[in-house]
Amino acid sequence: MGFYEAQVLPRLINVMLGNREFAKVRDEVCAGLHGDVVEIGYGSGLNVPHLPAEVTGLWGVDPAAVGRKLAAKRVAASRIPIHEAGLDAERLDLPDDQFDCALSTMTLCTVPDAHHALGEVRRVLKPGASFHFAEHGISPDPKVAHTQDRFDGFEQRVAGGCHLNRDIRAIVTDAGFEIEALRNFSLKGPKAWSYMYVGKARNP
pTM exceeds 0.85, yes or no: yes
Kindly report the length of the chain.
Answer: 204
Structural domains in the chain (count): 1
3: confidence class by pLDDT, cuts 50, 70, 90: confident
What residues make up the domain containing 50?
Answer: 3-202
Q: What would the pLDDT profile of 128-150 be if each residue is shown by its tens digit?
A: 999 999 999 999 999 999 999 99
Beta bridge pairs of residue 197: 135, 184
**DSSP string of 18-47, one letter each residue:** SSHHHHHHHHHHHTT--EEEEEET-TT-TT
Report the CATH number at residue 107: 3.40.50.150
Q: What would the pLDDT profile of 41-92 be if each residue is shown by its tens digit?
A: 999 999 999 999 999 999 999 998 899 899 999 999 999 999 999 999 999 9
